[in-house]
Amino acid sequence: MSTLVKSNNIPSLRSMMEDFWNNDNFFNHPFFNRELLPAVNIRDKKENYELEVAAPGFKKDDFNIGIENGLLTISAETSEEHNEEKENYTRKEFSSSSFTRSFNLPEDVDNDHIKANYKNGLLTIDIRKTTPAVAEKKKINID
């Protein structure tokens, strides 16, 4: 009796079939996962934080940026449709793209002074820092 063994170099027939029919792995393949997250750079500067989100192919109006309970959420969605009708054929194409990224904000963020700019596929978000409150000294009397 022979046994099919999964090799590190060449997958066995059994392992290929298991990979194919295992829905957890098959449908999580990047080919099926259309929500790709854009790359983000975060800089901690002296007076502000700066986020750069690489999101080419979007327009300024495609973005939605908000803050709730100390969480900065950036999302974008776009879709495009192209129809072409000729005498002997019709061509219809469409595409859509979306993403959502969320970031926990530190306590020294000034929520009222956040600016965003989108240019040449790069979304830049400038988040001003607040001056940390200095705890005042207080003497506690002992009763």
- The sign of the dihedral angle between the CA atoms of 14, 17, 21, 22 is positive
pLDDT at 119 over 90: yes
Cα angle 26, 27, 31 (rounded to 5 degrees) comes to 95
Q: Residue 106 and residue 126: Cα distance in Å, rounded?
A: 14
Tens digit of each residue's pLDDT (9 = 90 or more) over 100-114 = 999 999 888 998 899
Tens digit of each residue's pLDDT (9 = 90 or more) over 1-26 = 444 444 455 555 555 556 555 555 55
Structure tokens at 33: 């996962």
Structure tokens at 134: 């200095």
> Average pLDDT for residues 58-71, to the nearest whole number?
92
Give strand ranges (E) for 39-129: 40-44, 48-54, 63-68, 71-85, 90-104, 109-119, 122-129
